[in-house]
Amino acid sequence: MKKIQISPSILSADFSQLGNEIKRLEEGGADMIHVDVMDGHFVPNLTIGPPVIKALRNYTKIPFDVHLMISPVHKYIKDYADAGADIITIHPEATDNLIDSINLIKKFNKKVGVSLNPDTKLNIIENVLDQIDLILIMSVFPGFGGQKFMPEVVEKIKNLKEKKDTKNFDFDIEVDGGINFDNCKTVIEAGANILVSGTTIFKENNGNIKKNIESLKSK
């Protein structure tokens, strides 16, 4: 079994202090930093682009887990690779050719992630499971932080874990959306080994990041 990792979402950070927030996350034991990139088109919100990621890269060496919620995504992959992303995660619906986009991410020596919205079926990625480093299961519809976890995705996580074990694939299973102390154990038991959390990490226990990260791992 893979060790449980926590990827805090900076969507819940203080945007006026992002560099310091990154340092706080590293000191608190974050395994990677989850960066939500939204274009106001694929999802109904706007966040940050390559220049911000490039600037933040100077504050830490831990991996940047960059989730691209932009469409069309293919032509922007190089920009995020150059900015310092370590993992680039895309949505199948946001590219004309998923295999081409996967190969482009690999060309830049980055890890490949594919994200599935709550209503996106697993079979859409059946033919590329052996080419992916990470599958991100969304447990909310992407666009805004602070949403409630959708328990119906637990079955999808279990099904994905079963496919992974049956074929001996090595990809990580990441879950993002409403992850907190009440549901983290459920998603880990279902098969997830990376948890994305924003509000819980930055707000619970008076913002004690270290305590919150440890609690998410050990619940």
Number of domains in the chain: 1
C-beta separation of 153 from 137 below 8 A? yes
CATH code, domain with 48: 3.20.20.70
Total Cβ atoms within 10 A of residue 106: 14
pLDDT at position 71? 95
pLDDT at 142: 82
**What one-letter code names the amino acid at 142?**
P
* Cβ atoms within 10 Å, residue 189: 12
What is the predicted pLDDT for the residue at 76?
97
211: containing domain: 5-218
Q: What is the pLDDT of residue 40?
A: 87
| Cα 147 to Cα 30, 34, 56, 197, 199, distances in angstroms | 21, 16, 26, 11, 9
Whole-number pLDDT of residue 138: 97
**Burial (CB count <10 Å: 0-12, 13-18, 19+), residue 202:** buried
Number of helical (H) and strand (E) elements in the chain, helices listed first:
8, 8
pTM over 0.85: yes
pLDDT for 162 equals 97
136 beta partners? 115, 174
pLDDT mean for each 10 residues of the chain (219 residues): 92 94 97 95 89 95 97 97 98 97 98 97 95 97 82 97 96 96 97 96 96 93
| Under 8 Å between Cβ of 157 and 187 | yes
Q: Which residues are catalytic?
A: 36, 176
Listed residue (42, 41, 83, 45) closest to 66, CA to CA = 83
Residue pair 139/187 in contact (Cβ under 8 Å)? The answer is yes
Residue 2: per-residue pLDDT: 83
Select from 29, 37, 41, 28 the least CA-distant residue to 10: 37
Beta-sheet pairing, 134-138 with 111-116: parallel
